[in-house]
Structure 1
Amino acid sequence: MASDALVDGRKPAGGPGETVDKSSSAAEGVPAATAAAADVEKPEEEEEFERGFRFWTIIIGLGITTLLASLEHTVVTTAGPYILQDLELRENFIWISNAFFICSTAFTPLFGQLCNIFGRRWVFLAIVSIFTLGSGICGGATTGGMLIAGRAVQGVGSGGIVLTVNILVSDLCPLRKRGQYMAVILAIFGIGMAIGPFVGGAVAEHSTWRWVFYVNLPIGGVSLVTMFLFLHVSYHDDRPLGEKLRRIDLVGNLILIAGTVAILYSLTYAGTIYAWDSWHTLVPLLLGFLGLGLFAAFEASGIAPEPVMPVRLFANRTSIVVLINTFLNSVVYFWCLYFLPVYFQSVALYSPERAGYSLLPQAVAGIPGAMIAAISLSRWGKFKPIHLSGFALTTLGLCLLSLQDADTSIPEWAVFQIVIALGIGMVIDTLLPAFQAPVSEADQAAATSTWGFIRAFGAIWGVAIPAVVFNNRIDEILDSVSDPRARGLLGGGGAFQQASATFVEQFPPNVQTEIRSLYANALHRVFWIGAIFAGVATALVLIEREVPLRKQLETEYGLKKDVGKGAQPDAEKGINSGD
């Protein structure tokens, strides 16, 4: 392959004065950026980077900020019934989650481009403000429409938070070391994802569901103050505002947003309100995929001066495999997050609060998984063995989850969660460095936003696909429930909304047994198909090629030196101040 790092005239990643044997690199099909990265594998080339008080304050501040985004991914899974009862959303309840995910996904690439054009600091602070505003709207919602609008605003902020956190860590740490520091942040993120259902259930059960959203206000305030004081990164662009705005790939972003929204709108009602073969489902779905095709063609056409997703990001085999596996990993992650609570509440008959803290083994095990992966990646610089082990454990974990029924003991389901959490934890922290490795440092924001979009896009399918499997299986075996009223409530996509101990326990004991068996049988199918998805990802890892991870940090967006003293950063590195 030709060197994509040189397409736009930028130098490939590597230190000043480094030489790259382009002929040998081309012969092996490795981009020049990869060859340059190989040069910095030598120990004597390793360069220390600033890790003082301000650095660690920013890392902790980013962790606090991700707690906002992570809680809101799952907090409504157990608080949902209380919200549904209070605001009478009925069939529109699905939009509490989907409005969040749609906006989180659709705006991610745009934020990546804004980070390049306007700098990291102010974009980040604006995104946290947007999320905090959305939380306030949700907490004060008096109608279902107001709540859904607030969730959409939250989604915009959440997608931006996850993206900009990854971009900022990429600016602060060399590629080889990024996993260590992202592990700290992702540990907090993982805890938030896992305890979200517990928080939602506990708060809604003992207080009011509004505090599920109001709790974000003080967290958002702490994040804004901390990052305003300490997040001073280098950026300087004297171009007028009009010229900066013209750099935004407006056409590409609009096509991508329209296509994404069409697909996710179709998935919202597919298999529940409308059949999969209904025109209500097929038309927006096909238009959405057509939109994604038009987006790809537009990005490759060269019309946009700065494409939001440059085609050079996809010029490496490993990059393509990593993106596919990022999608699959996100799918199976949300597969578990949304359907494990269904097991605990409808089969084990736990209360929403107990169902929430029953997910804690997943949170606890995910942290050592991420730590093991981060330390291994930093020490040996090899991501392929980590991906293989992680996806294999994820596959095994999903197979084990498929064995759960009403008689599964606490130690059993705890071990099942630990296995899958270790696998997901090992993979989630190492996919982005693997995608960033083949591209130059100048493309890190674009690479990160592309990766972030794929991950967010996978989250929607991680809810939609198992929901289809679950509902279809419920309808197939619905006759096993003898009570006609129960069948009427559970059929046609109603089983997911009715998944609670309160619903099951309103029926006579014999019908309760039938309903619990119905749910267990459907979840058995759900988790087995999830294992197939994870197994495909495991096989795809074999196609990856190890790309050396750079030990040097070369970026124009690093930490500003001597903040408040007017000192300029090292001119030899080409870094300007101003952000």
Structure 2
Amino acid sequence: MNRNRYVFWGLVINTLISALDSNIMQTASPTIVKQLGGMEYFAWIFVVYMLASTVTVPLYGKLSDMYGRKNLLILSVGLFTLGSILAGCANSMVMLIVYRGVQGLGAGGMLPLSMIIVGDLFSIEKRGRIQAVFSSIWALSSIVGPILGSFFVETLTWRWIFFINIPIGIATVLCLMPYQEKMEFKKTHIDYKGFFLFGISITLLLLSTNVKNPLWYLVIGLIGLIVFLLVERKEAEPFLPVALFKNKGILTTNLFMLFYCLSFFGTSNFIPLFLQQGNHMSIYKSGLILLSIAIGWMFGSTPAGKWIIRFGYKNLFIIGSFITAISGLALFLFIKDLSYSGLFCILMVQGFSFGLLFAVGTIASQEFAESHIKGVSTSLQMFLRNIGTSIGVTIMGLLINHAASIVIGMKNVFLYALCFSIITVLLSFLIPAKTTEVSNS
């Protein structure tokens, strides 16, 4: 039990690194560009990290089913820390972008492997509470991160936004050292050909959302995915196991989470912008509105494990998707006339459904899967969430940029999200109620 406590704190610290990195970078990046030059490369500081950390998620899941979670997590933290050291020493934008890529290669395994270890170590009832803790860290980091970034930039140097990861990374590894995995891992053939085709295709598709002329990226990426599917059909041990797609629970849950992240999950990125431009609100107050989602998230995810045992997966997916759709409808209808407190309350309700469904979705991806594919099943869902969120946010950004005003833009965003949330409501009825393990407990 004491070992589990150390491991738990290691996972908490690991989550803290990821959360702080995202929020600190947003604050410090203008200063970095000013000192290093290369404003034309500004977006690539974030794009290369996003690409590396997204594409490698399924690979980490596959490898964790073969070689164990502990060593891979230590490796990913080590890669992230090495990338942080190199990024902190960068003397040009090109060097910084390359080293951010190294960081991303490590980050691709940090959160998925943490969730997989939680699934290995803790019961269903406890996993909801643990995910609530992780969500709280992200919420706290959204406030502390920008403040810490400003402190480093103004008092020390921007390089410390990377160097701060060194002691945190070391602490993570030390906490993970006592962890002894009890599961038996089967070493099998790794379909690197499939991973290469998959990785290149997804990279091109993601790049199509971040370049000015996306058509060729989109076309070649889609062709690559078709080739990947044709090649994988003939592969004895494919990169993404066939069992993932034959398992109704995994298939329907993953489809649900993909469409869910395409809908309202990305809208929170634009609400502070709407409050600043539409209501002339201060940056601090407009950012504080996102605490509503964090508070609701904790209330939704904390009891999720107990509710799964009591009500089953299907009922919770149905309830959560209905709450999201109804609160989203309220945002679409009343966003122009909502007071700050009214918006805070609606977002808190929506945050509740986010927390509930993300917790239930993660647990379902583990419990519906057989033990030898639990890692790749968990990481595949996290990968699809990232893809859904990236595409959704890109579409929302286009809707806002092409609108006559920020208010019209936000209404268009909510209408788009509402359409996809209706799809998630329909998909929720296809998800099985229970796994064998739950039904026999």
Change (3 A) 1:67 1:535: farther
Give the Å deviation of 1:80. Answer: 4.8
C-alpha separation in 2, matches of 1:122 and 1:398: 42
- Is the Cα–Cα contact under 8 Å of residues 344 and 350 in structure 1 kept in the other structure? yes
Structure number with higher helix proportion: 2
- 2:363 is matched with which residue? 433
Change (3 A) 1:324 1:310: same
- Is the Cα–Cα contact under 8 Å of residues 74 and 193 in structure 1 kept in the other structure? no
Find the residue that maps to 2:437 and give its secondary structure: coil
- 1:232 is matched with which residue? 180
Find the residue that maps to 2:270 and give its secondary structure: helix
Give the Å deviation of 1:429. Answer: 0.7
Deviation larger for 289-298 or 353-362: 353-362
- Does 2:411 align with 1:524? yes
Change (3 A) 1:444 1:207: closer
TM-score between the two structures when normalised by the length of structure 1: 0.69
C-alpha separation in 1, matches of 2:85 and 2:276: 29
Give the Å deviation of 1:347. Answer: 3.1
- 2:104 is matched with which residue? 155
1:107-506 alignment, distance < 5 Å: 107-173=56-122, 177-178=123-124, 180-208=125-153, 209-228=158-177, 230-234=178-182, 247-269=189-211, 273-274=212-213, 281-301=214-234, 303-304=235-236, 306-332=237-263, 334-377=265-308, 379-380=309-310, 382-402=312-332, 403-405=334-336, 408-473=338-403, 477=404
- The percentage of counterpart residues that share the same residue type is 26
Change (3 A) 1:443 1:410: same
The amino acid across from 1:201 in the alignment is P
- Is the Cα–Cα contact under 8 Å of residues 332 and 462 in structure 1 kept in the other structure? yes
Q: Summarize deviations over 1:463-482 as a string: whole Å, max 9, x none.
A: 21212222222xxx2xxxxx
Deviation larger for 248-257 or 184-193: 184-193
C-alpha separation in 2, matches of 1:543 and 1:72: 37
C-alpha separation in 2, matches of 1:88 and 1:520: 35
- Is the Cα–Cα contact under 8 Å of residues 366 and 378 in structure 2 kept in the other structure? yes
Change (3 A) 1:83 1:390: farther
Change (3 A) 1:324 1:88: farther
The amino acid across from 2:223 in the alignment is L
C-alpha separation in 1, matches of 2:289 and 2:89: 29
- Is the Cα–Cα contact under 8 Å of residues 169 and 181 in structure 1 kept in the other structure? no
Q: CA RMSD in A?
A: 2.8
C-alpha separation in 1, matches of 2:437 and 2:194: 31
- 1:496 is matched with which residue? none
C-alpha separation in 2, matches of 1:400 and 1:376: 26
- Is the Cα–Cα contact under 8 Å of residues 25 and 149 in structure 2 kept in the other structure? no
TM-score between the two structures when normalised by the length of structure 2: 0.88
How many equivalent residue pairs?
Answer: 435
C-alpha separation in 2, matches of 1:248 and 1:144: 35
Q: Summarize deviations over 1:114-140 as a string: whole Å, max 9, x none.
A: 223332221110111112223334444
C-alpha separation in 1, matches of 2:92 and 2:315: 50
C-alpha separation in 1, matches of 2:127 and 2:86: 30
Change (3 A) 1:201 1:66: closer
Find the residue that maps to 1:164 and give its secondary structure: helix
Give the Å deviation of 1:534. Answer: 1.9
Change (3 A) 1:54 1:295: same
C-alpha separation in 1, matches of 2:144 and 2:113: 26
Give the Å deviation of 1:551. Answer: 5.3
The amino acid across from 2:252 in the alignment is V
C-alpha separation in 2, matches of 1:411 and 1:160: 38
C-alpha separation in 2, matches of 1:413 and 1:351: 16
Larger Rg: 1
Q: Summarize deviations over 1:475-495 as a string: whole Å, max 9, x none.
A: xx2xxxxxxxxxxxxxxxxxx
- Is the Cα–Cα contact under 8 Å of residues 127 and 363 in structure 2 kept in the other structure? no
Give the Å deviation of 1:101. Answer: 1.8
Give the Å deviation of 1:88. Answer: 4.6
- Is the Cα–Cα contact under 8 Å of residues 121 and 233 in structure 1 kept in the other structure? yes
C-alpha separation in 2, matches of 1:215 and 1:132: 9
The amino acid across from 2:81 in the alignment is T
- Does 2:24 align with 1:55? no
- Is the Cα–Cα contact under 8 Å of residues 373 and 426 in structure 1 kept in the other structure? yes
Q: Summarize deviations over 1:271-324 as a string: whole Å, max 9, x none.
A: xx33xxxxxx111111112222222222221x34x3221112111333322111
Change (3 A) 1:531 1:447: same
C-alpha separation in 1, matches of 2:175 and 2:134: 18
Give the Å deviation of 1:386. Answer: 1.0
Give the Å deviation of 1:187. Answer: 2.2
C-alpha separation in 2, matches of 1:314 and 1:254: 20
The amino acid across from 2:128 in the alignment is A
Change (3 A) 1:62 1:201: closer
Change (3 A) 1:117 1:222: same
- Is the Cα–Cα contact under 8 Å of residues 208 and 218 in structure 2 kept in the other structure? yes
Find the residue that maps to 2:262 and give its secondary structure: helix
- Is the Cα–Cα contact under 8 Å of residues 191 and 239 in structure 2 kept in the other structure? yes
- Is the Cα–Cα contact under 8 Å of residues 112 and 445 in structure 1 kept in the other structure? yes
- Is the Cα–Cα contact under 8 Å of residues 314 and 434 in structure 2 kept in the other structure? no
The amino acid across from 1:546 in the alignment is A
- Is the Cα–Cα contact under 8 Å of residues 308 and 446 in structure 1 kept in the other structure? no
- 1:103 is matched with which residue? 52
Change (3 A) 1:206 1:437: closer
Change (3 A) 1:421 1:320: same
- 1:46 is matched with which residue? none
Change (3 A) 1:355 1:87: farther
